[in-house]
Amino acid sequence: MRPVYSNTHLSNCQILFDSFFRFCYTFFKISFEFGDLMKKLMICIVLIALLLTGCSVSEPEEADLYAMDTLMKIKIWGEHEDLVLVTDEIHRLDLLLSAADSGSLLSQINLSGSAELSGDILTLTQDALSLSEKTGGAFDPTVYPLVRLWGFPDDAYHVPTQEELDETLPLVGTEHIHMDGSSITLDKGTMLDFGAIAKGYAAQQCVNLLEENGVEAALLSLGGNVQTLGTKPDGTAWNIGIADPDNPSQAIAQLSFFGSKALVTSGGYQRFFEFNGVSYHHILDPKTGMPADQTLASVTILCDNGEVADAYSTALFVMGLEEATEFWKTQNDFDAVFIMKDRTIYATEGCAELLSGCEFTVIKR
């Protein structure tokens, strides 16, 4: 889907300039008739300065697009070219990293079983291996055989038998990925899937590009991934809602913060199907092949890096509340909000200071 761009800032400023120049024409015409031109000229200069100041506190450049299997909304307090740069980067990475797209580079690697990696694919593979090790395998970039078994890539949903799971599970695990420098070899049947970090990686890359271009404020919403850049032009905090798992179009809580952050939510409500009255969601436990912890409704991660936040949101959902809490206690690079199926909410200390709109229990170190 092509991005849909909008920009109220340009049209509003244009209206202001048109009105201003009509005013100036009348003003000078009167000035020539009644004298004291220099005083009136100084007044016009002041009015111009005020007009330019008003236009500089602009509305954002905006775009809506569909990529990476989700709807996205981009807001940038900058130039239109910056907005195009971001949407182009997202589409570029989507074409590169989709495991379901037979034409993507990732699919070609999965098909051939080996390749010489470079650029984004090499970076993501190295990062994925590191994050998998750090989370004890709760985040696993090789779950794609299980994802396909359940029918999530093409919505051909299927509840696998235990025999099917037993046949597929041996293909899953980072021990089946063999790296030699930038060369990769996959064991037969093993496939890479960056779905759990691709949006976070894309958001982080886009923010990096905007920073390089001198953009000071942006808000990127890539499905369940939100990335902020800098401070809002009006000086207020970023207010980001956490979706209500029972009614995702509404917020169950809100996090308010300043500066550049990544806020990523993973939840079973985001993609699921029902069979014989039982709901099965898309976040699979790499160890069992089944949908992960059924007591959690969602996990939201707040940290400085979009890719890390994306991986952690999936990993902690797989871990479940107790193990995820213990993991958080050993780390210092993120905070989290856990929403349970019974709508009980838990927040780690860092998020507790920023959380509003709900009752919650604070998780302390």
Q: Kindly write down the DSSP assignment for every residue of 282-342, as one continuous string.
A: S-B-TTTSSB--SSEEEEEEEES-HHHHHHHHHHHHHH-HHHHHHHHHT-SSEEEEEEETT
**Span 195-219, average pLDDT:** 97
pLDDT class of 23 with cuts at 50, 70, 90: low
Arithmetic mean of pLDDT, 125-151: 98
pLDDT over 80 at 297, yes or no: yes
Q: State the pLDDT at residue 16.
A: 43
Task: Bin 315: left if φ > 0, else alpha if -120 < ψ < 50, else beta.
Answer: alpha
**Would you say residue 15 has pLDDT above 50?**
no
pLDDT at 41 > cutoff 80: no
How confident is the model at residue 293, as a pLDDT? 79
CB atoms within 10 A of CB 134: 17
The strand pair at 361-363 and 345-348 is best described as parallel
CA 50-52-55 angle, 5° bins? 110
Rounded to an integer, what distance in angstroms lies between the CA atom of residue 362 and that of residue 253?
A: 14
Distances, alpha carbon 99 to alpha carbons 11, 22, 30, in Å: 41, 57, 69
pLDDT higher than threshold 70 for residue 317:
yes
pLDDT at 217 (0 to 100) = 98
Mean pLDDT of 34-48: 49
pLDDT (0 to 100) of residue 58: 72
What pLDDT, on a 0 to 100 scale, did the predictor assign at position 187?
Answer: 98
Write down the mean pLDDT value for the chain: 89
Q: Give, rounded to a whole angstrom, the gap between the first and last alpha carbons of the chain.
A: 45
Question: Is the pLDDT at 216 greater than 60, yes or no?
Answer: yes
| 3 state SS of 30 | helix
Largest CA distance in the chain: 96
Q: Is the pLDDT of residue 67 over 80?
A: yes
Q: Which whole number is the average pLDDT over 111-129?
A: 97
B/e letters for 80-108, b = 16+ CB within 10 Å, e = fewer, are eebbebbbebbbebbebbbbbeeebbbbe
Residues whose CB is less than 8 angstroms from the CB of residue 300 and which lie 6 or more positions away in sequence, other chains included: 242, 255, 263, 264, 265, 313, 336, 337, 338, 339, 351
**What are the beta bridge partners of residue 71?**
66
Residue 54 has pLDDT above 80, yes or no: no
Is the pLDDT confidence value at 343 over 70?
yes
pLDDT confidence band for 222 (50 / 70 / 90): very high
pLDDT score at 3: 78
Rounded average pLDDT over 116-137: 97
Structural contact between residues 195 and 209, judged by C-beta atoms closer than 8 angstroms:
no
**pLDDT, tens only, 232-251:** 999 999 999 999 999 999 99
pLDDT for residue 267: 96
CA distance 64 to 66: 7
Helices (H) and strands (E) in the chain, counts: 11, 18
Q: Which of 13-17, 54-58, 295-299, 353-357 has the lowest mean pLDDT?
A: 13-17
Burial label for 25, CB within 10 Å (0-12, 13-18, 19+), is: exposed
Q: Which residue has the higher pLDDT, 25 or 71?
A: 71
